Amino acid sequence: MPIDVQPPRTRGPDTTRAASPPRRAVPLPVWNLLAVVLGLGIWTVLARVGVSGLPGPQAVAVRAGELAMDGTLLDDSLASLRRVLIGFALGSALAVPVGFLMGWYRTARGLIEPYVQFFRTIPPLAVIPLAILLMGIGETPKIFVIFLAAFLSCVVSTFQGVVSVDATMINAARVLGANDAVVFRRVVVPASTPFILVGMRVGLGAAWATLVAAELIAAQEGLGYRMQQAQIYYDLPSIFVGLITIGVLGLIMDRLLLAAEKRLTGWQERR
């Protein structure tokens, strides 16, 4: 039986293209810098066309230099920063255990949650008259209003983090012999940490947002106080200096919290 022998096929040229190297993503700081430059450019254009007497970046920078040279800007920044830090720290320190209680114990949830939800519907600024009557016009009412804003923002996030823990993880830990204390410490707390840190970031923003109104209470220094004084004399550059300083300080504190979040939740999948 003859065997059909076919000539070997010659291999043609390789038509497969080499895989193109992946495109390098533009670093995030570059986009941040571009956003700042664009913002300054738009601000300059609006100031040049005379939008409602808007001061330009140069006028604001000159005024910031004047306030920095005589020490006013530093003193006001330190006073406001001290109030925000104390109020935010006290609010977060109380919000975390209260949120854990509400999320872990149904009895505590039933007793505490109505009050939390009630006070959440009341703007912290509306408490200022009551705080003045009960606490006077010193530092206590200012810090209390900031504390209340930070607490209400953080406690809800902490509570949501506890109740959102996957029941499968809790049941698996119990099957392995873990008691309630171990489950809470090794499962609930780590799983709730991302929610807690997000709540702290929201609470920090609420604390800074409440600062200006809190410094209405017979303050003699502070960024909010300086902005209110500038309003009386229609000193727009000073108002812008206060706004920018608050924004920069708040941004720095938020970046610090974000860095802590990445360090404490390194196990979490990120995009």
> What is the domain partition of the chain in residue ranges?
54-264
With a cut of 50, say whether residue 3 has pLDDT above it: no
Of 5-9, 122-126, 239-243, which gets the smallest average pLDDT? 5-9
Q: Considering only CA atoms, which of 187, 167, 162 is closest in space to residue 105?
A: 162
Q: What is the 3-state secondary structure (H, E, C) of 75-87?
A: HHHHHHHHHHHHH
> Given 3-state DSSP classes, what are the helix, strand and coil percentages for the chain, each rounded to the nearest 5?
75, 0, 25
Return contacts of 129-135, CB within 8 angstroms, 24+ apart.
131/217, 132/217
Contacts of 66 (CB under 8 A, 6+ apart): none
Phi first, then psi, for residue 13 (nearest 5°) are -65, 145
With a cut of 80, say whether residue 253 has pLDDT above it: yes
* CA separation for the pair 97, 88 (Å, rounded): 15
The arithmetic mean of pLDDT across residues 57-61, rounded, is 91
CATH class of 54-264: mainly alpha
* CA separation for the pair 105, 113 (Å, rounded): 11
| pLDDT tens for each residue of 14-49 | 555 555 556 677 777 788 889 889 988 998 888 888
Q: Considering only CA atoms, which of 58, 97, 107, 91 is closest in space to residue 207?
A: 91
| pLDDT tens for each residue of 217-234 | 777 888 988 998 888 888
Supply the pLDDT for residue 61: 93
| pLDDT tens for each residue of 129-149 | 888 888 888 888 889 999 999
Tokens of 105: 């114990």
